[in-house]
Amino acid sequence: MCGFLPYFPNDKENLTYTYVALRFIAGIGLAGELGAGITLVSEILPKELRALGTSLVAGIGLSGAVVANLTVNRLDPGDWNIAYFIGGGMGIGLLLLRIGVLESGIFNETKKTEVSRGNFLMFFTNWDRFWRYLRCIGIGLPTWFCIGILAMFGNVFGKALGIKGGISPGDAIMWGYIGISVGDIFSGFLSHWLKSRRKSILLMMTFTLISVVWILSGTIHTASMYYLMCCWFGFGTGYWAMFVTIGAEQFGTNIRSTAATTIPNMVRGTVILMTIGFESLIGSGLTVLVSAGIVGFIAFAIGIYSTWSIAETHGRDLDFVEVDSPHDEGLIDQ
């Protein structure tokens, strides 16, 4: 693979840049996995079972992060590349399984019409649609504050909290995803029981906020307690499946998959802004805990407002399309 980048001066740099390039390519391929899967499940299942189906898809899928960390930990440091062969093999197996997956009926019906399909620009051509899109993104911000800041910077928080032996970011992420995998499944049953997407997400978000406040209070001084908090906020942010489901249910069939795939990636992209803000606040002289508290407050405030203000979609009929017309509000039944 090093031969793909011959202009770098030595083999070590070749390997580094090749690794980055391959991770980038893999990221492009994986970016739409969850959104596309949840869109398909949402359109195939009866609306009464939609929450249960999408939560199972996300819960089982996100457990892959846990398996990945356990796999690496069981390998010798020099055999790290074996983990990539294992993951790649599973990806190829999944690709073969998808050959037999059928397209949803309502999408097939949409293909028979002349309505624009998969047009990302449609989110910006109608104010109501654009505002729905922004609020869908806002709902997911707390999830990636927890993983992208509290878990990814676990070593920084471990030092700030005076935890003996420190915190491993890899283990913090693993415990976070253990919680997320269970929380995703739980959130689906909770939404099904409450018959409300919004209520289930607000309850999960509140549960998450308790653990975040606990961490930032500075009262945690052991690694085991920090990992417990990671599992706690992971479980709370397990509304990820419901968040993507809301994104799918808010929009018409012709751009539903586009919404469900781009909204989670927009949220992931905000981690860059959160990280810059977090590091800038530390650089300005604020402590690690105060800096994280400011970023977290903004993320949760936006998340709570977006969830509270967006339309309820539990039980919504998804057989409609989005159109651009000065005489309507942006959507019509098929």
Mean pLDDT of the chain: 83
In whole angstroms, what is the distance from residue 85 CA to residue 94 CA?
Answer: 14
- Judged by phi (left if over 0) then psi (alpha if -120 to 50, else beta), residue 104 lies in beta
Q: Of the spans 13-27, 154-168, 174-188, which averages the highest pLDDT?
A: 154-168
The model's confidence at residue 77, banded by pLDDT at 50, 70 and 90, is low
How confident is the model at residue 198, as a pLDDT? 93
How confident is the model at residue 234, as a pLDDT? 93
Reading the block at residue 51, the tokens are: 């929450």
Q: Which residues pair with 331 in a beta bridge?
A: 322
Amino acid symbol at 53: G
Structural contact between residues 307 and 205, judged by C-beta atoms closer than 8 angstroms: yes
Structural contact between residues 146 and 176, judged by C-beta atoms closer than 8 angstroms: yes
In whole angstroms, what is the distance from residue 199 CA to residue 190 CA?
Answer: 9
- Taking CA atoms, 135 is separated from 53, 118, 174, 226, 311, in Å, by 23, 20, 28, 31, 10
Q: Which residues pair with 322 in a beta bridge?
A: 331
The model's confidence at residue 45, banded by pLDDT at 50, 70 and 90, is confident
Q: Reply yes or no on whether the pLDDT at 23 is more than 80.
A: no
Reading the block at residue 97, the tokens are: 């399984």
- Taking CA atoms, 3 is separated from 6, 13, 25, 127, in Å, by 5, 12, 17, 49
DSSP codes, 259-313: HHHHHHHHHHHHHHHHHHHHHHHHHTT--HHHHHHHHHHHHHHHHHHHHHHSPP-
In whole angstroms, what is the distance from residue 191 CA to residue 200 CA?
Answer: 5
How confident is the model at residue 12, as a pLDDT? 62
Q: Reply yes or no on whether the pLDDT at 105 is more than 80.
A: no
51-65, 112-126, 273-287, 313-327 — which is least confidently predicted? Answer: 51-65
How confident is the model at residue 55, as a pLDDT? 74
State pLDDT tens for residues 260-298: 889 988 998 999 999 999 999 999 999 999 999 999 999
Reading the block at residue 167, the tokens are: 């915190």
Reading the block at residue 157, the tokens are: 């928080």
What's the residue count for the chain?
A: 334
Angle between helices 64-74 and 50-62 (to 10 degrees): 20
DSSP codes, 169-201: HHHHHHHHHHHHHHHHHHHHHHHHHHT-HHHHH
For residue 85, the Cα-to-chain-centroid distance in whole angstroms is 24
185 vs 69, more confident = 185
How confident is the model at residue 227, as a pLDDT? 96
How confident is the model at residue 83, as a pLDDT? 74
Q: Reply yes or no on whether the pLDDT at 232 is more than 80.
A: yes
How confident is the model at residue 334, as a pLDDT? 45
Sequence-separated (6 or more) residues with CB below 8 Å from residue 206: none
State pLDDT tens for residues 168-203: 998 999 899 889 888 988 988 898 899 899 999 999
How confident is the model at residue 142, as a pLDDT? 96
How confident is the model at residue 7, as a pLDDT? 44
Q: Of the spans 52-66, 274-288, 313-327, which averages the highest pLDDT?
A: 274-288
The model's confidence at residue 95, banded by pLDDT at 50, 70 and 90, is confident
